[in-house]
């Protein structure tokens, strides 16, 4: 899991550090996510979007921006990637992080995206997989699905294909997403009932009463 998380974190930081000039983080991936998913985070990864241009303009006011960009690009090179050749040209407009539940120490998550350039995305993931044994991949429709183990990727695909109700149909989810400003780079949703159930699970009866009051 560490390798996958590390690669994705570097890619996300690269977008923020190398922003350039379409729409912000949306909820397109929710169309294939089961309605009972615990958590959904949408990240705008379109480095040429107006949102990242605004962030880039703001960052330019700080003298350390160029040093930060150099550090980020070096981080990519350390991971075996070149920003322009390997990353920017492959990324689609959005990465969606989906936690199916909170079991397995939070490892039951996948990342879904629609690449800008399929061939370059294939090359990017292939390169990452050569130096890692915890990046697994599948497809659901025209969405790429990445996960830290084979089981969670297979589970996501099975639940996505068998579920009649998707997260995009969930009114609570839609209310949460619509509450963000249109220029948001990140949007997130938590299934409150599931989070509370997990929080209560290991409490004593007395602790549960106090927790419910809080």
Whether the CB-CB separation of 4 and 152 falls below 8 Å is answered with no
Which domain range does residue 63 map to?
Answer: 2-213
pLDDT tens readout for residues 89-120: 788 888 899 999 988 888 899 999 999 889 98
Task: State the Cα–Cα distance between residues 148 and 49, nearest whole angstrom.
Answer: 29
pLDDT tens readout for residues 31-54: 999 999 999 999 887 766 666 566
Task: State the Cα–Cα distance between residues 161 and 140, nearest whole angstrom.
Answer: 8
Q: Please name the residues in contact with 23: beta carbons below 8 A apart, sequence gap of 6 or more.
A: 46, 49, 93
Instruction: Give the count of domains, the chain.
Output: 1
Residue 45 CB-half CA count within 13 A: 28
Whether the CB-CB separation of 114 and 28 falls below 8 Å is answered with yes
Residue 67 CB-half CA count within 13 A: 3
Name residue 138's beta-bridge partners.
145
The answer to whether the pTM exceeds 0.85 is no
């Amino acid at each position: 899991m560490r390798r996958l998380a590390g690669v994705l974190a570097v890619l996300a930081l690269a977008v923020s550090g190398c922003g350039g000039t379409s729409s912000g983080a949306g909820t397109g991936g929710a169309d294939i996510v089961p309605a009972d998913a615990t958590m959904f985070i949408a990240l705008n990864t379109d480095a040429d979007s107006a949102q990242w241009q605004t962030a880039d303009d703001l960052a330019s006011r700080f003298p350390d921006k160029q040093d930060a960009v150099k550090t980020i690009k070096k981080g990519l090179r350390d991971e075996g990637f070149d920003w322009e050749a390997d990353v920017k040209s492959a990324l689609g407009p959005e990465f969606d992080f989906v936690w199916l539940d909170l079991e397995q120490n939070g490892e039951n998550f996948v990342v879904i995206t629609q690449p800008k350039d399929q061939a370059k995305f294939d090359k990017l993931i292939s390169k990452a997989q050569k130096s890692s044994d915890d990046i697994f991949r599948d497809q659901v429709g025209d969405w790429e699905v990445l996960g830290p183990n084979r089981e969670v990727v297979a589970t996501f695909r099975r639940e996505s294909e068998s579920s009649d109700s998707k997260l995009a149909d969930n009114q609570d989810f839609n209310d949460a997403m619509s509450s963000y400003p249109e220029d948001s780079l990140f949007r997130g949703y938590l299934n409150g009932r599931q989070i509370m159930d997990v929080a209560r699970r290991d409490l004593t009866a007395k602790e549960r009463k106090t927790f419910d009051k809080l």
